[in-house]
A = this chain, B = another copy of it.
């Protein structure tokens, strides 16, 4: 079994730019990436690949193999899948609430495919037992697309229902979830810059 994490540090997470500078966003995604790698490794998946259009920020990466591919995300991932024989877990790099238990459960599915939905129709992770019988199509409502593709390829699939694995960090409000439910370096980083406050019955982020 292999895990692959698509990653791009340069100019990452532009939707967080209202609250974090470019440098902060690049530092933050690196912390999230490292947490995701550690989480996968703790779940006893030994082969972890990072798939990136550029080596920027990955020069000193020791925990995972770095694969450079300048193609678009879907093309790069589908080329990756074509070259793999065994099961592949694709995990997004912005899941700091993901735990090793999640990874173990996702990869223990009895179905051919296990899809982890993210907010707004996204796909936060997808486990593919037979990579020759699947292709990915991220962007837009990829969750529904990935369900359809499984059906098209005659692959059975399970939907993995998790609030924590379902929380990808894209918007400032997602940082609220990280502060409430998170732990580890990515949470600590945000915790040094913001605190939670309640405004009109809602929890919001306030700069320290």
Contacts and interface: CB of A to CB of B under 8 A. Distances in A.
A121 B176 contact: yes
A131 interface: no
Contact of A162 (B163, B176, B196, B198): B163
A140 B181 contact: no
Interface string A131-175: 000000001110110000000000000000111111000000100
A202 interface: yes
B176 A140 contact: no
Contact of A196 (B117, B121, B181): B121
A101 to B, nearest CB: 9
Nearest to A147: B180
A151 to B, nearest CB: 16
Most B-side CB within 10 Å, residue of A141, A144, A165, A173 = A141
A206 interface: no
Number of copies of chain A assembled together? 2
Most B-side CB within 10 Å, residue of A161, A162, A163 = A163
Contacts of A141: 180, 196, 198, 203
16 contacts: A117-B180, A120-B173, A120-B176, A120-B177, A120-B203, A139-B201, A140-B201, A141-B180, A141-B196, A141-B203, A161-B163, A161-B164, A161-B165, A163-B163, A163-B166, A166-B166
Given A120-B202, A140-B203, A166-B166, 20 more contacts: A117-B181, A119-B177, A120-B173, A120-B176, A121-B176, A121-B180, A121-B196, A139-B201, A140-B201, A141-B180, A141-B198, A141-B203, A143-B180, A144-B180, A161-B162, A161-B164, A161-B165, A162-B162, A163-B163, A163-B165
Interface of A: 117, 119-121, 139-141, 143-144, 161-166, 173, 176-177, 180-181, 196, 198, 201-203
**9 nearest A-B pairs in the assembled complex, by CB-CB distance:** A163-B166, A140-B198, A121-B203, A141-B203, A121-B180, A139-B201, A161-B162, A120-B203, A161-B163
